[in-house]
């Protein structure tokens, strides 16, 4: 796991030393992602520079150093991630005459691009990756991201220069990156708790979407951000909606026993692939279905006790440590458990803006950061159970949305129209649940609208961000599947495309990379995703049991009582924090005078919610956390920008 960064000029104007120095600054900002090695490469005549920070996982020798050139000299690559099936690809390439100096997957990836081209290579890869590939012959830069979006990649314009990197802090190092806040994108943070790709908190800046390739040459860079249309320029080599539609058109036709056997085999292979490393490997274990199945399959395929890690919260109903301890004891793992106090958790909060670079308001970021720190003491790679909920109908909100969709169909159209008109005047009241929530969903065009209301924090964020209009996202679609599949399939697709990469995987990436730990998610092997999409709903949810088939497989490794128990989730007691130790901090950031001075939020509605929350209306903590995470981020961004501005020297 690593970090990459770079820049491409619209025309050559910097000497090679200047280009390399600037790329080096951008790369150094990502040292936490790859503390083991650093490298830069530049071509002043082409106006291109690449930087790389390496966390050595495979081939720890200097032969894995990046940026790396292909054997024929045409391509130069900076690569963040892992290609799990690199050994099979290497064997196929060797049979075609390719020779290798080392044993890294980076060298295999370059040879594959030489042999098959970039898009064909990416479809052959089973892995997680963000790629910056420079073609020296055609003078063209290609940026690519894996199918699911496990590894991040930002890009944007600093003045007239294209800058890109694994995290925004690398883009900030360019002296011309003074891009302000994209207020439209900010509305999505308030609604969802994160900003979905291709949007970014900064103007003239974007995220590369999962499964996409973006090609840019000097002419495209010169055209600038105003001419850039990410939805048109980012071309898919894999499309989740199309893959799901194809799976639905050829549904699984075997018996339940056949499905269980096939899923078991896929899971075991996906886990085995992700256990390959030249450094210690462990697993995050919460005791829930997803992490337990990963731990079980790791231990079943290991001759030694695997390393497992969990944390517990003192005096909190969020404590999952006893469940994890029970599973670890049954599997005989080498288990490490750490109990943290509220003070331990709250100490992480001031670090969140620098850890995430972009305002991010999923409060489970705090316990995730703590367990990542714990794991890094013993291992360099940790597997997680991310993806099980989105693929196997694991969220209770899916059930609630289907219930409301059925109720919606029972209400006569004239009454629905009247209720929808009423809802437009209710503002944020639908967050309180009950009748208000049903009224808010009366005007729904499809399951997408029902589900959007279920997962929204602010229901009308554009009303509170001054001068903003909320842009379209995947959750804006009335039917995310365009008529294919069931409403349940449509909701799971929406989460797979947006919530999974831009919330869950972003959270894991930033918290693990902050401590130089590589996170791997075997349940998100693309073969498992496409198999899950082919299954009927009753193999995912049956008689009140969610993730039905996953649990049937897990029963092969754990006793039933450890499998069939309630889902607790991996959360954080935000409401208690804001009423307790964080109250003064939050009060400063949400002060009416401060909001008015900053001029980003409408001060009155935000201050009113803060007052209502402090008077006992508990529902508002999710609204407030989104605003707080932006406010804290804005302070951090201003400080980081000032540091760049004060740096001596110029690259112009």
Provide mean pLDDT across the span 213-235.
96
Q: State residue 650's pLDDT score.
A: 47
Q: Final residue of a domain: which of 238, 257, 277?
A: 238
Are 186 and 268 in a shared domain? no
Residue of 130, 133, 182 lying closest to 8 (CA atoms): 133
Quick one: 326 and 196 in the same domain? Answer: no
Is 131 inside a domain boundary?
Answer: yes
The reply to whether 247 and 232 lie within a common domain is: no
Q: Are residues 46 and 145 in the same domain?
A: yes
Q: Catalytic annotation on 2?
A: yes
d(CA 584, CA 578): 8
Q: What is the CATH number of the domain that holds 74?
A: 3.60.20.10
Within this chain, do residues 160 and 265 fall inside the same structural domain, yes or no?
no
Please determine, for residue 345, whether its predicted confidence score (pLDDT) is greater than 90.
no
Supply the pTM of this predicted model: 0.94
| Claim to verify: residue 586 and residue 444 sit in the same structural domain | no
Query: Is residue 401 domain-shared with residue 336, that is, in the same domain?
Result: no
Q: What pLDDT, in 10s, does the model give residues 314-333?
A: 766 667 789 999 999 999 99
- What pLDDT score does 240 carry? 97
**Which domain covers residue 424, as residue numbers?**
396-487
Q: What is the distance between the alpha carbons of residues 41 and 81, in angstroms, rounded to a whole number?
A: 19
Compute the distance between CA of residue 299 and CA of residue 557 in angstroms, rounded to an integer. 10
Domain presence at residue 569: no
Banded model confidence at residue 90, pLDDT cuts 50, 70, 90: very high
Same-domain pairing of 270 and 231: no
Select which of 2, 24, 125, 200 is catalytic: 2
State whether 553 and 435 are in the same domain: no
Separation of alpha carbons 433 and 225, rounded Å: 41
Domain endpoint, select from 563, 590, 609:
563
| 201, 269: one domain | no
* CATH number of residue 316's parent domain: 3.40.50.620
**Mean pLDDT of the residues in the chain:** 92
> Does 500 lie in the same domain as 481?
no
252 part of a folded domain? yes
Are residue 170 and residue 209 in the same domain, yes or no? yes
pLDDT tops 60 at residue 651? no
User: pLDDT band at 64, cuts 50/70/90?
Assistant: confident
Element (H, E) at 127: strand 127-135
The answer to whether position 652 is within a domain reads no
Residue 75 belongs to a domain: yes
Residue 652: predicted pLDDT = 47
Tally of domains in the chain: 4
What pLDDT was estimated at residue 313? 80
Residues 6+ apart with CB under 8 A from 459: 191, 427, 428, 430, 431, 440, 453
């Amino acid at each position: 796991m690593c970090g990459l960064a770079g820049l491409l000029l619209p025309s050559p104007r910097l000497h090679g030393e200047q280009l390399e120095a600037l790329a080096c600054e951008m790369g150094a900002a990502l040292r936490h992602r790859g503390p083991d090695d650093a490298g830069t490469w530049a071509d002043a005549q082409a106006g291109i520079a690449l930087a790389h920070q390496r966390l050595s996982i495979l081939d720890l020798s200097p032969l894995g150093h990046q940026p790396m050139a292909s054997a024929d000299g045409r391509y130069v690559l900076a690569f963040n991630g892992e290609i799990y099936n690199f050994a099979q690809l290497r064997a196929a390439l060797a049979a075609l005459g390719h020779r290798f100096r080392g044993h890294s997957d980076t060298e295999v990836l370059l040879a594959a691009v030489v042999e098959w081209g970039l898009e064909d290579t990416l479809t052959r890869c089973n892995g997680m990756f963000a790629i910056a590939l420079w073609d020296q012959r055609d003078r063209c830069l290609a940026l690519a991201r894996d199918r699911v979006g496990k590894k991040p990649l930002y890009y944007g314009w600093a003045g007239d220069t294209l800058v890109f990197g694994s995290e925004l802090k690398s883009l900030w190092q360019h002296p011309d990156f003074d891009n302000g806040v994209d207020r439209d994108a900010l509305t999505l943070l308030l609604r969802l708790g994160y900003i979905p790709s291709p949007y970014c908190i900064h103007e003239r800046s974007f995220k590369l979407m999962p499964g996409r390739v973006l090609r840019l040459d000097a002419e495209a860079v010169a055209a600038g951000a105003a001419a850039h249309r990410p939805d048109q320029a980012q071309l898919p080599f894999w499309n989740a909606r199309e893959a799901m539609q194809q799976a639905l058109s050829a549904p699984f036709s075997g018996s339940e026993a056949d499905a269980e056997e096939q899923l078991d085999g896929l899971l075991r292979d996906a886990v085995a692939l992700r256990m390959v490393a030249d450094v210690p490997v462990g697993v995050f274990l919460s005791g829930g279905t997803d992490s337990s199945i990963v731990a079980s399959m790791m231990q079943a395929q290991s001759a030694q006790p695997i390393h497992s890690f969990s944390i517990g919260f003192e005096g909190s109903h969020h404590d999952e440590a006893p469940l994890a301890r029970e599973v670890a004891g049954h599997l005989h793992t080498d288990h490490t458990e750490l109990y943290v106090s509220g003070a331990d958790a709250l100490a992480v909060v001031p670090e969140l803006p620098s850890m995430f670079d972009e305002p991010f308001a999923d409060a489970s970021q705090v316990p995730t950061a703590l367990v990542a720190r714990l794991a890094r003491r013993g291992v360099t790679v940790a597997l997680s159970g991310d993806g099980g909920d989105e693929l196997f109908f694991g969220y209770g909100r899916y059930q609630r949305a289907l219930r409301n969709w059925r109720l919606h169909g029972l209400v006569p159209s004239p009454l629905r129209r009247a209720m929808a008109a009423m809802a437009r005047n209710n503002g944020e009241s639908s967050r309180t649940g009950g009748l208000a929530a049903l009224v808010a969903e009366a005007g729904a065009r499809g399951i997408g609208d029902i589900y959007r209301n279920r997962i929204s924090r602010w229901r009308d964020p554009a009303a509170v961000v001054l001068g903003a209009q909320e842009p379209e996202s995947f959750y804006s679609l009335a039917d995310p599947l365009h008529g294919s599949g069931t409403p349940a399939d449509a909701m799971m697709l929406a989460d797979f495309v947006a919530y999974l990469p831009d919330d869950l995987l972003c959270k894991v990436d930033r918290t693990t990379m902050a401590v130089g730990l590589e996170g791997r998610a075997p349940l998100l092997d693309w073969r498992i995703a496409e198999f899950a999409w082919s299954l009927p709903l009753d193999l995912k949810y049956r008689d009140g049991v969610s993730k039905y088939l996953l649990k049937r497989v897990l029963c092969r490794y754990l006793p039933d009582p450890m499998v069939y128990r309630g889902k607790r989730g991996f959360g954080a007691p935000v409401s208690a924090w804001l009423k307790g130790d964080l109250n003064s901090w939050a009060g400063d950031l949400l002060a009416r005078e401060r909001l008015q001075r900053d001029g980003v939020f409408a001060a009155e509605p935000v201050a009113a919610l803060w007052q209502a929350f402090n008077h006992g209306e508990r529902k508002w903590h999710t609204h407030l956390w989104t605003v707080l995470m932006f406010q804290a981020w804005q302070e951090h961004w201003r400080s980081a920008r000032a540091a760049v501005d004060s740096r001596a020297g110029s690259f112009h």
